[in-house]
Amino acid sequence: MFTGIIESLGVIESVQHSGSNVTFTLRASIAPELKVDQSLAHDGVCLTVEKIEGDLYQVTAIEETIRKTNLAQWKKGKKVNLERCMKMNGRLDGHIVQGHVDGIATCVEVKNGEGSWEYRFEFDSAFAALVIEKGSIAVNGTSLTCFEVGANTFKVAIIPYTYEHTSIQDVTIGDKVNIEFDILGKYVQRAIAVKNDKYFVN
């Protein structure tokens, strides 16, 4: 479980394909602090650390993960948001993030407000009920607040610290990002669906 507060940026050093799996080697300042078999969120995707060598470490994504996320577009040199799992004795500074990406959204607008930035994203309207005004959403693993929510769009505002310390700085119009909706909203939707004999499947 994560909080959506990004710890560090990693940089992809290599991408290796093996059957339907893809193995990524990343360079990150927190790599020496990691442990093999540890869960680590990469742009919001929970992946298991398999190998560590100095400031390099390795993770592998399976076909299901690649299909539901933007990992298929990852290339050498890409910056990736990193967050280790939360400590149960710590503060929840963002919101509850599982690292289980629900789908992808497309950036359709970027505005520089001279001190802050606004991004508009378009997503599958099948998830419309899970995006609410002033609600939480994880975009590439970063906990953000939605506003100007439409049927299949929402905006987020980015402060300078978040812009400088996350991969949002590299997102441009047309880019695909990983999104995870608030788990509380998903449980509510599921409960209503079960009550009405309509089951929600993503």
How many C-beta atoms surround the C-beta of residue 173 within 10 A?
Answer: 11
pLDDT score of 197: 74
Q: For residue 127, is it left (φ>0), alpha (ψ between -120 and 50) or beta?
A: alpha
Q: What angle do CA 160, 99, 121 make, to 5 degrees?
A: 50
Residues 112 and 172 in one domain: yes
Residues 66 and 21 in one domain: yes
Residues 113 and 185 in one domain: yes
Is residue 28 within 8 Å of 11, Cβ to Cβ? yes
Terminal C-alpha separation, the chain: 20
**Which of 103-136 are b and which e, b meaning 16 or more Cβ less than 10 Å from the residue's Cβ?**
bbbebeeeeeeeeebebbbebeeebeebbeeebb
Domain assignment of residue 69, given as a range: 8-84
DSSP 86: P
Q: Which amino acid is present at 64?
A: E
CATH number of the domain where residue 189 is located: 2.40.30.20
Residues 109 and 139 in one domain: yes
Residues 59 and 118 in one domain: no
Residue 94 lies in a domain: no
pLDDT score of 199: 58
How high is the mean pLDDT in each 10-residue block of the chain (202 residues)? 94 97 98 96 97 98 95 97 87 85 97 93 95 96 97 97 96 97 87 74 54
Phi, psi of 184 (to 5 degrees): -65, -40
Total number of domains in the chain: 2
Residue 93 lies in a domain: no
Residue 92 lies in a domain: no
Distance separating alpha carbons of residues 103 and 65, to the nearest angstrom:
10
Is residue 80 within 8 Å of 42, Cβ to Cβ? yes
Distance separating alpha carbons of residues 168 and 184, to the nearest angstrom:
25
The CB-side HSE value for 14 (13 A sphere, CA atoms) comes to 7
Residue 53 lies in a domain: yes
Residues 191 and 108 in one domain: yes
Residue 96 lies in a domain: no
> Whole-prediction pTM value?
0.89
Is residue 156 within 8 Å of 145, Cβ to Cβ? yes
Instruction: Write the CA distances from 130 to 146, 160, 189, integer angstroms.
Output: 11, 27, 8
Residues 162 and 191 in one domain: yes
Residues 112 and 156 in one domain: yes
Tokens (6 digits) for 146: 């939605």
- Spatial neighbors of 13 by CB under 8 A, at least 6 apart, are 25, 26, 27, 56, 76
pLDDT score of 200: 52
